[in-house]
Structure 1
Amino acid sequence: MHNYAPLDNPVWHALQTTHKAFAQGTDRVQRYPADTLQFVGCADPLHADLNEILPWTAVGEKMLMIGELPALPSNWALVRQLDCIQMVCDEKTPLASPDVVPLENVEEMLTLINLVQPGFFYKHTPLLGAYYGIYQEGQLVAIAGERTKISGLIEVSAVCTHPAFTGRGYAQQLVAHIVNKQVTAGNALYLHFLTNNDRARKVYERLGFRDRRAIVFWEIVRNM
C-alpha cells in the first residue's frame, strides 16, 4: 500500500528522498538547480521564509511552489495561480505502447516541449528521470517522462504532442509505458493537470489514474 501523504508537498519530499542530490538551499527551504527545474519546496510551507533561498536564486527569476504558499516577503511577488488536479495510479494498464522509444537528444525534447508547453523544461530536466517519445518520419512528435520523484512515487510530466499529430493516441501510449514500467518496479505514479483540461483527464482516466486532490501551482518571482 502506497503512502500518498507526501504528495501534499511533493517538491519538498522529492528533495528529501530520491532527488536529494539535486537539493539547493537550507534545512527548511530548498530548490532544484535553475537549469534543471524551477521548483522550490519548504519543510513547513505556511510558515517558511523564502528569503532563506536568496543565495541560490537570481533577481527576476520565476519559480513554482506546489501546494501551500507561505506569506511572501516584500522582495517576492505572486505572478499567477495555476489550479490543478493531482491524480495517482498504482496498477498496470493493458493499453499497448508499441511505438515508444527512450529519448536522448535534449535539443529535440526542448524544441517540442517549448512549442507546446514553454517554460517547464530545461537543459538538465532529463537528468531527473527517463523520458520517452514517439517519432514519425524521423521527427519527434510526442513526449512524456518522469519529473519529481519521492520514495516509491514517480511524477509523470512533460506529456505533450506536436499540434499536427494530436488525436492519434500518442500521449496515451507514452503514459501507459511509464505506468507499466514503474508499477512493475513497485512504484506508484502521480501527475498534475490544469482543472479545465478535460482532454487530459480523459486520457489519464482511461489509463487508471484517479483523482487524489485539487492542488495549486504558485508561480512566484524574486523582484529584488
Structure 2
Amino acid sequence: MKNLEEKLKNPVWHSLKETHNKHLLEFDGVQFYHPDICIFGSFYDETKTAKALNEYAKLTDKFFLVSENQTPIIDTNYVVLNKKIDGCQMVLENFIEIEITENIVHLTKEHINEVFDLIWLVMPSFYKRRGFEMGEYYGIFKDNKLVSITGQRMQTNDFIEVSGVVTHPDYTKRGYAKQLITHTTKEIIKAKKLPILHTNKGNAAVPLYEKLGYKLTRDMNWWLFNRK
C-alpha cells in the first residue's frame, strides 16, 4: 500500500485508484478521469503516455497530464503541447482558525449550474459541469445569487484537495474566500483527512493560503495538450 507521501507525489493517480475510481479511464497503464468529470490524467511510466494520449484525445480535444517531475512523451502526429503550467502543491501544516461571519451554504445538485457559471465567469477554462461530482461544494449568497465558492476535487483515503476557490468580481476583497477555505478545511479535518491544494507558482493567493496554515511542499506541473 502506498503511503501518504507517495500519494501526494501523484495525486491524480491515487485519487483515481481510490475515492474516484468510478471515474477512471485507463489506456496502456496511464490513468485519466472520464472527460465529462475532469480532463486530468496521470502516469508513472512516461514511455506509455504517447499511445495513451492518442486514445484519450479521441474523447476530448484538450486535456492535462499532471506530474511532479516527469516529462510525458507525446506522438506529435496526433497531440500537441499547448503549454506547461508550473504549479505547486500546498499541504495543511497547522490549522489557523479564523472567525466565520458569513452564512456558508452546503451546495447541492440544484446549484450545479450556478457553480458552473460562476467558475466560467472568473476562470473561463477547463471546469466541467459534472466536476461538481468530485466532492463537496460550499458557497456564499448575496443579493439572491451565488457570489463565492470553494469545492473539493482530487481525493484519496488520506487527503482531500481544496479547489474551485472563486469569487464574483463584484464581491471580492470582502474576506469570502478566506472564510470559505477555512470552512472547507475544517470539513476535511472532520473527515479525518489531510487538506491539500494546488495552485500556480507565484499566484497572489499563496500568501493567503499560508496565513490559513498551508505550506508549500513540492512542484506539481500541469502539461496541457490539444488534439491535433
State the TM-score, normalized to the length of structure 2: 0.89
Name the residue aligned to 2:203. Answer: 197
- Contact between 1:90 and 1:189, CA under 8 Å: does it hold in 2? no
What is the identity, as a one-letter code, of the residue corresponding to 1:12? Answer: W
Letter in 2 for 1:93: I
Question: Displacement, 1:92?
Answer: 3.5
Cα drift, residue 69 of structure 1: 2.9
- Say what the alpha-carbon RMSD is for the aligned residues: 1.8
Pair 23,207 (structure 1): closer, same or farther in 2 beyond 3 Å: same
Which runs of 5 or more structure 1 residues have no equivalent in the other structure?
none
C-alpha displacement at 1:59, in angstroms? 6.8
1:30-59: CA deviations, max 9, x gaps? 2111111011112x2433233235444427
Instruction: Go from structure 1 to structure 2 and tell me whether the alpha carbon gap of 1:35 and 1:186 turns closer, same or farther (over 3 Å shift).
Output: same
Question: Hey, what's the Cα distance between the residues in 2 that align with 1:112 and 1:123?
Answer: 11
Question: Which shifted more, 47-56 or 84-93?
Answer: 47-56
Tell whether 2:96 aligns with 1:93.
yes
User: Partner of 1:171 in structure 2?
Assistant: 177
Distance in 1, matches of 2:89 and 2:26, equals: 26
How far is 1:18 from its partner? 1.1
Structure 2 segments unaligned to the other structure (5+ residues)? none
Describe the SS at the equivalent of 2:129: coil
**One of 63, 69, 72 as aligned partner of 1:70:** 72
Moved over 4 A (4+): 53-56
Contact preservation (8 Å) 2:54, 2:75: no
Moved more, 56-65 or 18-27: 56-65
- Of the three residues 187, 193, 201, the one matched with 1:187 is 193
Matched position secondary structure for 1:5: helix
Distance, in Å, in 2 between the alignment partners of 1:91 and 1:116 is 29
Change (3 A) 1:45 1:157: farther
Q: Is the 8 A contact 2:63 2:226 kept in 1?
A: yes
Percent identity of paired positions between Structure 1 and Structure 2: 31
The equivalences for 1:45-194 within 5 A come to 45-52=45-52, 54-58=54-58, 61-67=61-67, 68-74=70-76, 75-89=78-92, 91-97=94-100, 98-104=102-108, 105-194=111-200
The letter of the residue matching 2:81 is: L
Alpha-carbon distance in structure 2 between the residues aligned to 1:150 and 1:213: 18
For 2:98, give the aligned amino acid. L
Counting matched residue pairs gives 220
* TM-score, reference length from structure 1: 0.91
Whether the 8 Å CA contact 1:90–1:188 is kept in 2: the answer is: no
What's the secondary structure of 1:4's corresponding residue? Answer: helix
Deviation per residue, 1:77-125 (Å, 9 max, x gap): 1101111121001544311334211112111011110011122321210
> In 1, Cα distance between the equivalents of 2:16 and 2:28?
11
Q: Give 3-state SS (helix, strand or coil) of 1:202's partner.
A: helix
State the distance in 2 between where 1:164 and 1:45 align: 45
Give the equivalent residue in structure 2 for 1:217.
222
